[in-house]
Amino acid sequence: MKKVILFGANCGKCKKAERIIHKVVNDHNLDIEFLKTEDFETMAQHQVMYLPSVLIAGKLVFKGVIPTEKELIKHLK
If we measure between CA atoms, which residue out of 60, 65, 63, 72 comes closest to residue 24? Answer: 72
CA separation for the pair 17, 33 (Å, rounded): 16
CA separation for the pair 54, 45 (Å, rounded): 14
Q: For other proteins, which is the closer residue by CB, 32 or 55?
A: 55
List the end-to-end C-alpha distance of the chain, in Å, as a whole number: 10
Is residue 29 involved in binding other proteins (CB under 8 A)? no
Q: For other proteins, which is the closer residue by CB, 32 or 56?
A: 56
Contact 69, 30 (CB under 8 A): no
Residue of 6, 24, 32, 48 that binds other proteins (CB under 8 A): 48
Span of 18-26, 29-37, 52-60 interacting with other proteins by CB under 8 A: 52-60
Is residue 65 involved in binding other proteins (CB under 8 A)? yes
Q: Which residues bind other proteins (CB under 8 A)?
A: 7-14, 40-41, 43-51, 55, 58-61, 63-66, 68
